[in-house]
Structure 1
Amino acid sequence: MSVYSGNRANGMTTSRRPRAGAPAVFPVPRQRLAIVGPDVDHPAVLTTKRLADKLGWPHLVVTDRSKLVWAITVNKPALVAVVGDADNTAHLDDIGALRNSYKGPIAVLGALSPQLTVSALVNGADSVLRSDLRDDELGARLLALVRRTAEGSESGARYLTAEGLRVDLWRKEVTLDRTPLHLSSTEYRLLVCLMESAGQTVPWNRILHRVWGWADADVNMLRIYITRLRKALGETAASSKFIKSVRGHGYMFAQPVIEAADRESDTVDGELPMMQRLAAKCTELATATDITGAASRIAESLVTEGTVDAVGLHLTDGEILRLVGHFGFTTEWEQVARELALADDRYASIQSVRRAQPVQLLRRRSHTFPGTNAAVSSDAPGTYLFVPISHAGETIGTMGVVRRSDEPFGPLTISYLQAVAALCGACLGPQWDSGRSSRAGRP
C-alpha cells in the first residue's frame, strides 16, 4: 500500500508548503488539518483548502473511506474537518469509527438537517459548522476547537512520562513517583506544554499563547506559575531536575519524555504491553515463509500497533543494502530506497550498519545525512530512527522507522525497537545466510 502519494488514485492529497497568509485569530498548529470529503473537487473541500492556505495551515485531503481511519491515525492531524451535506452523507457515517481511534477535535462542515446534525454530534463530532461562513469566522471557529483541546498531546498519546513523573492527558491527572499531584488547571497546561517539547527551549510567547490564550497574562505571570509548578514537583530554580530556565528566552523541560498510548496503561512506562507485542511478533515471524513476507509483516505490525508511522527493512546483499519489506512510506520513497550502496555514507541507514548502533535523525538536523534527507523529501517530515539488524555477530541490515512529529524516540521505545530488530536477525538471519551462499555460488 502506498501513502502520501499526493495523487487522487490513492484517495489522499497533501499540502506541505502552504502560502504565508494573514495571521490567524489563534496560533496555527504545526499539525495538519485533515479535510475529509467525497471528492477533492467538492466545493466545500476546495473552500476549506483555500481557507487552510490563507491561514498558513498545512493540510491533507482524504476521500477514500476505506483508508480514512488509517490515514488519520498515521498522520495525527490537529483537527479533522468532515465535509457533508444532504447529498453527500457517506463520510458522516464514518464519524463513529473515526472517534474511536482519534482523540482530537472533529468538525463537520456543511448545511445539515437537524437530524443529521444530531447524528453527527452523537457519533462523536465536536461541532457542526456551516461551510458558507466567512473565512475569518470559519477559521476562528476551527482554531478555537484546536485550542480547547490544546492541553492534550499533539501526537495522540495518552501518557507522558519522565523520571517518575507521569501525566494522564485524558484524565488530566499527574503523579510523581506514583503520588498524585494536585495541580491547578493552569499549572497542568503549563507542565504539558513543556513536556511535549522536552529538550527544547520553549519561548515565553509560545507558552503564553498555549497556556493562557487570550487571557491577560504576561511573562511575570508565567514566572509565578513556573515557581508554583516547580514547588509542586519538589524543586526550586536553583536545584531543578525537570524545569530549566533559559535566560532571555524561555523554559525547557530537561528530562527525556516518553509518550505512551492508552494500550500501555497497565504499567507506568509500558514495559509489559511491549513484551506482549514482542511475543506476538515471534509468532508473526515464525509463520512467514520467506524474507519478504516476514519483513513485511513486521513492518505492518509496528505501524498498525501505533509504535511508529512507517517502517522499512533493508538487508545487505554484497555491496548493496537492499529493501526487503516496508509499510507506510510513499511509492516515491520506495523507488529511492530500494537499493543503497554500502559505500555511500550520505545515508543514516548505512551509518547504522557500519557502526552497528542505532542512528536517530531529527528533522531539524536532517542535513547531517544528505542522502537520507533527499530520500525522505518525498515523504512527510518527522523523526527517523535506524536500528541495526544482526545475526551471528555480524550486522546484516537495518530497520528504519519514522515518527511523523518533532518528538525524538525515547529510551523505552528504542529498546523495544532494538528487541524487534534482534528478533528479525534471529529469524531472517538463516535465510539471509542461505541466500548469501547461493549468491556466492553463482557462475
Structure 2
Amino acid sequence: MSATNLQPSLGTVLRPRDLALLSPAVLCAEPGSPAARLATRIGRAPWPTVVHEQVTGAVHAASVRDTKLVLVGGNSFAWVRQAVRQLRPVGSFPIALLATEVSADQVLALLDAGANLVIERNATGREVAARLTALCRGSSGDDILRVRWLQAGQLRLDLRARRCLLDQEVIALSHNEFDLLAFLMGRSQQVVPQHEIVQRVWGWRHGDGMNTLRIHVGRLRRKLGDTPAQPRWIGSVRGIGYQFLHPVAELGDDRSDDRMRQAVTVLNAQADALNALVDTLLVARDEASVAETVVQWAITRGFGDAATVFRLDTDAAGRSMSRLVASAGMSARWRQSIATGHPVSADFMGSQVYRSGETVQLHDMSQLARRFPVTARMSSAEDLHACLLFPLHVDGRIWGDLAFVSRTDRAFTPARTAYLRTVAGVVSLAFRAARTSSPTTGPATDA
C-alpha cells in the first residue's frame, strides 16, 4: 500500500484514544517521498504531531518533546539509514520505518542502525496501526525504569529500593502508601482526580474506592508530618482530588554513554531553543510583539500544540478581566469567542494563577467541568487537554499568564516544567523591558 493510500486508511483505523499512546509523534520524511504525504488526522488532532523533511529539524523536535514515537520514511535507503542514525542518540523512543521500499538485508541494516520496527510498504492501514500501538505499548514503561529517585526538598523516594526518606530519616510506608506517594509525586503540582488515583494505584476500574483513598492519604499525611488544614506535602481540592504541592526532580543512576549522549542532546536542543527565543525577544518593541514571539516559538519549537498569553486587566466597571494578547495553535472560532476578554472568576482556571501567583498544571482540563466549567468547555472544543500555566511577574506584580497546552492527556514532565518555568521567567523580563520602553495602560495586581 502506498503512503497516499495509507493516509486515509490510518485516519480511519486510528482512534482518538490512540493519541495517548502514539503522541507526540515525529515524522521524518525524505523530501518528495510518499512518506512526506503521510500526515493525517485522528479526531480533531493532526497526526503525526510534527512533520519534518530535514533530519536536523526532526532531531530537534524529537528532543524537546516527550516524544512517544518517531516515524521515518523515504525513497532512498541511504537517506533513511542516515536519518535513523542521527535520531537514535536523541532519545529512547521507538523508531518505526514505513512507506519505504527495502530489501531483507537493508531491513537488518536499519535495525542495526537503531530502528525498532520496519513495516513493509504493502502493509494495510489496520496492520500498520496495530504494529505501531503494540510497539508503543511495549516501550511505555521505559521512563519509569530509568528513574531511580523522586525528590522534593528533603523528601526522597527510592523507587528501586522502595524506600522513603524525610530529612534523612527513613519513613516506614506500606506498599500502597508508597505507591500512592510515588504516583502523586510523579504528577507534582497538578490536581489528580480521585477516581484516577484509585484506578492507577489500586487498579480498581469499578466500585467505590474513595474511602480507601481517603484512609491512605490520611495515614500518609500523618507519617510525613502533614495536616489537612496546613498541608506541607499533599494538598486536596474538595470534590476533585489531591495534589503533591512541590516541584519534583526525577533522578536516575544510569550513567551509560548512551544515556549521557541523550541527556546532552536534549540539553543542547533546549539551550539552542532558549537562545533563539532570547535573540528574537531582544528586538520585540512592545508587549504584543513579546507575546506573539513566545507563542509562535512554543509551537514551532514543539513545546506544545497550542500556546496563549493573557493579560490581567480591568473593564469599565473596574472588574478584573483576562484579555488575550496572543495565541498560536488555536482555532479562529476560539479566538473570536475570547476576543472581548472574559471576567476573572472561579469558573476560569487562570483565576487560580492570579490569586496564588503559582504555576498551575493539569493533565486534562476537559475533566474539570465542575471546578472550571469555562476552561473545560473551551478546551474540549479545541480538543486540548494537558495544560501548564505560568504567572508572568512584572515589577513584583502579576502582569498576566503564559500557557502551554497539549492535545494529549499526559502531564508535562517535571524536567519539561522546570525548563518552561525558566522560559516564563525570561518572558517576564521581556515584558518588563517592553513596559519600560512603551508602557501599557493595563493594570497589574499584587502577586
Structure 2 length-normalised TM: 0.54
Mapped partners of 1:410, 1:384: distance in 2: 11
Which of 391, 394, 407 does residue 391 from structure 1 map onto?
Answer: 394
Structure 1 residue aligned with 2:335: 335
Whether the aligned pair in 2 keeps the contact of 1:14 and 1:61 (CA below 8 Å) is no
Which of 32, 38, 45 does residue 22 from structure 2 map onto?
Answer: 32
Taking the TM superposition and a 5 Å limit, the aligned residue runs for 1:57-136 are: 59-60=47-48, 63-66=51-54, 68-69=58-59, 72=62, 76=66, 78-84=68-74, 93-109=82-98, 110-114=100-104, 116-133=106-123
- For residue 95 of structure 1, report the CA deviation from its aligned partner: 2.5
Mapped partners of 2:79, 2:165: distance in 1: 48
Structure 2 residue aligned with 1:215: none
- For residue 125 of structure 1, report the CA deviation from its aligned partner: 0.8
Pair 438,305 (structure 1): closer, same or farther in 2 beyond 3 Å: closer
Whether the aligned pair in 2 keeps the contact of 1:330 and 1:378 (CA below 8 Å) is no
Aligned pairs, number: 358
Name the aligned partner's letter for residue 86 of structure 2. Answer: A
Structure 2 residue aligned with 1:231: none
- Is residue 432 of structure 1 aligned with residue 435 of structure 2? yes
Which of 178, 195, 198 does residue 201 from structure 1 map onto?
Answer: 198
Pair 15,138 (structure 1): closer, same or farther in 2 beyond 3 Å: closer
Structure 1 residue aligned with 2:287: 291
Taking the TM superposition and a 5 Å limit, the aligned residue runs for 1:223-238 are: none
Pair 69,131 (structure 1): closer, same or farther in 2 beyond 3 Å: same
Whether the aligned pair in 1 keeps the contact of 2:65 and 2:303 (CA below 8 Å) is no
Mapped partners of 1:342, 1:304: distance in 2: 28
Whether the aligned pair in 2 keeps the contact of 1:312 and 1:401 (CA below 8 Å) is yes
Mapped partners of 2:276, 2:161: distance in 1: 31
Pair 331,101 (structure 1): closer, same or farther in 2 beyond 3 Å: farther
Which of 394, 402, 405 does residue 402 from structure 1 map onto?
Answer: 405
Name the aligned partner's letter for residue 90 of structure 2. Answer: S
- For residue 375 of structure 1, report the CA deviation from its aligned partner: 3.9
Mapped partners of 2:423, 2:50: distance in 1: 32
Pair 307,38 (structure 1): closer, same or farther in 2 beyond 3 Å: closer
Structure 1 length-normalised TM: 0.55
Name the aligned partner's letter for residue 95 of structure 1. Answer: V
> Per-residue displacement from partner, 1:250-270 (whole Å, max 9, x unpaired)?
xx998975557979999xxx9
Taking the TM superposition and a 5 Å limit, the aligned residue runs for 1:29-428 are: 30-32=20-22, 34=25, 36=27, 59-60=47-48, 63-66=51-54, 68-69=58-59, 72=62, 76=66, 78-84=68-74, 93-109=82-98, 110-114=100-104, 116-133=106-123, 141-153=131-143, 161-162=150-151, 163-165=155-157, 200-202=197-199, 258-259=249-250, 288-296=284-292, 298=294, 310-316=306-312, 319=315, 321-325=322-326, 329-330=329-330, 332=332, 335-336=335-336, 339-343=339-343, 345=345, 346-350=347-351, 352-353=353-354, 356-363=357-364, 365-367=367-369, 368-377=371-380, 379=382, 381-402=384-405, 405-408=408-411, 421=424, 423-428=426-431
Pair 128,356 (structure 1): closer, same or farther in 2 beyond 3 Å: closer
Mapped partners of 2:374, 2:412: distance in 1: 21
- For residue 297 of structure 1, report the CA deviation from its aligned partner: 5.2
Whether the aligned pair in 2 keeps the contact of 1:399 and 1:421 (CA below 8 Å) is yes
- For residue 414 of structure 1, report the CA deviation from its aligned partner: 6.4
Mapped partners of 2:420, 2:51: distance in 1: 33
Pair 91,374 (structure 1): closer, same or farther in 2 beyond 3 Å: farther
Name the aligned partner's letter for residue 343 of structure 1. Answer: P
Name the aligned partner's letter for residue 341 of structure 1. Answer: G
State the identity as a percent.
21
**Which deviates the most, 293-302 or 396-405?**
293-302
Pair 16,70 (structure 1): closer, same or farther in 2 beyond 3 Å: farther
Pair 439,307 (structure 1): closer, same or farther in 2 beyond 3 Å: closer
> Per-residue displacement from partner, 1:76-113 (whole Å, max 9, x unpaired)?
45433434566x87556532333333421112234412
Structure 2 residue aligned with 1:220: none
> Per-residue displacement from partner, 1:47-93 (whole Å, max 9, x unpaired)?
x989x99xxx995375541454455556645433434566x875565
Whether the aligned pair in 1 keeps the contact of 2:68 and 2:93 (CA below 8 Å) is yes
Unaligned runs of 5+ in 1: 1-7, 22-27, 180-189, 208-234, 242-251
**Which deviates the most, 72-81 or 412-421?**
412-421
> Per-residue displacement from partner, 1:260-300 (whole Å, max 9, x unpaired)?
7979999xxx9xxx999999988875565443444455556
Unaligned runs of 5+ in 2: 169-178, 205-218, 226-241, 253-258, 316-320
- For residue 118 of structure 1, report the CA deviation from its aligned partner: 4.2
SS of residue paired to 1:201:
helix
Mapped partners of 2:10, 2:313: distance in 1: 35
Greater relative CO (CA pairs within 8 A, separation 6+): 2
Mapped partners of 1:63, 1:419: distance in 2: 27
Mapped partners of 2:146, 2:333: distance in 1: 27
Mapped partners of 1:16, 1:401: distance in 2: 29
Structure 1 residue aligned with 2:209: none
SS of residue paired to 1:388:
strand
Structure 1 residue aligned with 2:176: none
Whether the aligned pair in 2 keeps the contact of 1:333 and 1:376 (CA below 8 Å) is no
SS of residue paired to 1:31:
helix
Whether the aligned pair in 1 keeps the contact of 2:295 and 2:327 (CA below 8 Å) is yes
- Output the aligned Cα RMSD: 6.1
- For residue 418 of structure 1, report the CA deviation from its aligned partner: 5.8
